[in-house]
Amino acid sequence: MDIVLSSLVGFAGLSPTLRAVEAGKDVALANKETLVVGGELIMALVRRRGVRLLPVDSEHSAIFQCLQGEDSRTIERLVLTASGGPFLHVAREKFPSLTVAEALKHPTWRMGDKVTIDSATLMNKGLEVIEAYWLFGVPPEKIEVVIHPQSVIHSMVEFVDGSIKAQLGIPDMKLPILYALAYPDRLPFSARRIDFGTLREMTFHPPDLEKFECLGLAFRALRMGGTAPAVLNAANEVAVQMFLDGELPFSAIPSVIRDALDAHTPLHAFTLADLERVDAETRLRARRIPVTASS
């Protein structure tokens, strides 16, 4: 086996990815939670074993491609693009009454239920910010998120001289998967191409952190460091599943995560066993948090 594609959803992907790296395998990483929860453990092991960790998320693949031939010390900032999800133009006041069916209608990407809900809350982008921190060694203050509804630019890198490189492509996960599996080569692919003659506009604007609280919570967890991102992830996984099961209003998802972070004192030296314990404790706590439709 030349490469392992790690694509389990959620915390479940951490242990198998660690095992693959320990076995000396290159990993194409589609499971962002692996780095969100255990980035310090994973990256230390990647360096020790001398393997390659190749990003599969479209945003991180874009950054990875933009950095080919560049000195990482010249990075000024990373700009992760986000479609904005299905509720980009929905007023925050309507969030308590939003349905699962509405949340699963992503305007651009076809994804599983959990990732689609994360996109609707912008938590998906928050998790990607933490993933980018570990993949590219850039501090949180140099990682930004911009809303780009057309999903043509998948992310950008600005360098110290002011130059910006962007990776463009159709919104199709087959492309970053192919790039990771074939790296460093590019293989022919008969995908639909961008038609610039019919591409009428590409728009950008900053995310509304009051409306999409989950993105701000992810930045908070990253700044807290240690096991805080593990708490963020566990509480989010529970809250999303409760929403999908009809047990929690959409508007209450960030309150579950915020409560979990408020109650946590991060460990800054930890093992896999510590992460598993923190994950389990957070899930139990998150299920007990009282919520109302007005949360």
Tokens of 53: 């960790």
Q: Is residue 294 scored above 50 in pLDDT?
A: no
DSSP state letter for 279: H
Tokens 């910006």 belong to: 164
pLDDT tens per residue across span 188-231 = 998 889 999 898 899 999 999 999 999 999 999 999 999 999 99
Q: Is residue 53 scored above 90 in pLDDT?
A: yes
First to last CA, the chain: 49
- Please check whether residue 119 is in contact with residue 106, taking contact to mean a CB–CB distance below 8 angstroms: yes
Q: Tell me the mean pLDDT in the region 127-141.
A: 97
DSSP for 110-168, written as a single string? ---HHHHHHHHHTHHHHHHHHHHHHHH---GGGEEEEE-TT--EEEEEEETTS-EEEEE
Q: Is residue 3 scored above 70 in pLDDT?
A: yes
Could you tell me which residues come within 8 angstroms of residue 210 by beta carbon, excluding any fewer than 6 positions away? 92
- In which band, very low, low, confident or very high, does the pLDDT at 126 lie, cut at 50, 70 and 90? very high
Please give the pLDDT value at position 51: 96
Please give the pLDDT value at position 293: 43
Please give the pLDDT value at position 106: 76
Neighbouring-strand partners of residue 236: none
pLDDT tens per residue across span 5-46 = 998 888 889 999 999 999 999 999 999 999 999 999 999 999
- Please check whether residue 165 is in contact with residue 62, taking contact to mean a CB–CB distance below 8 angstroms: no
Please give the pLDDT value at position 1: 60
- Among 29, 248, 285, CA closest to 134: 29
Please give the pLDDT value at position 105: 87
- In which band, very low, low, confident or very high, does the pLDDT at 178 lie, cut at 50, 70 and 90? very high
Q: Tell me the mean pLDDT in the region 115-132.
A: 96
Of the two residues 106 and 159, the one the predictor is more confident about is 159
- In which band, very low, low, confident or very high, does the pLDDT at 290 lie, cut at 50, 70 and 90? low
Measured between alpha carbons, how far is 95 from 256 in angstroms, rounded to an integer?
15
Please give the pLDDT value at position 291: 61
Please give the pLDDT value at position 163: 98
Burial code (b: 16+ CB inside 10 Å, e: under 16) for 7-44 equals eebbbebbeebbebbeeebbbbbbbbbbbbbbbbbbbe
pLDDT tens per residue across span 183-198 = 999 999 988 899 998 9
Please give the pLDDT value at position 252: 96
Measured between alpha carbons, how far is 238 from 252 in angstroms, rounded to an integer?
12
Long-range contacts of 92-96 (CB under 8 A, 24+ apart): 92/210, 92/211, 95/249, 95/250, 95/251, 96/249, 96/250, 96/251, 96/252, 96/293, 96/294, 96/295
3-state secondary structure of 6: strand
What is the chain's mean pLDDT, rounded? Answer: 93
Q: Is residue 110 scored above 80 in pLDDT?
A: no
Q: Tell me the mean pLDDT in the region 154-166.
A: 98
- Please check whether residue 166 is in contact with residue 148, taking contact to mean a CB–CB distance below 8 angstroms: no
pLDDT tens per residue across span 252-286 = 999 999 999 999 999 999 999 999 999 999 999 99
Measured between alpha carbons, how far is 261 from 230 in angstroms, rounded to an integer?
10
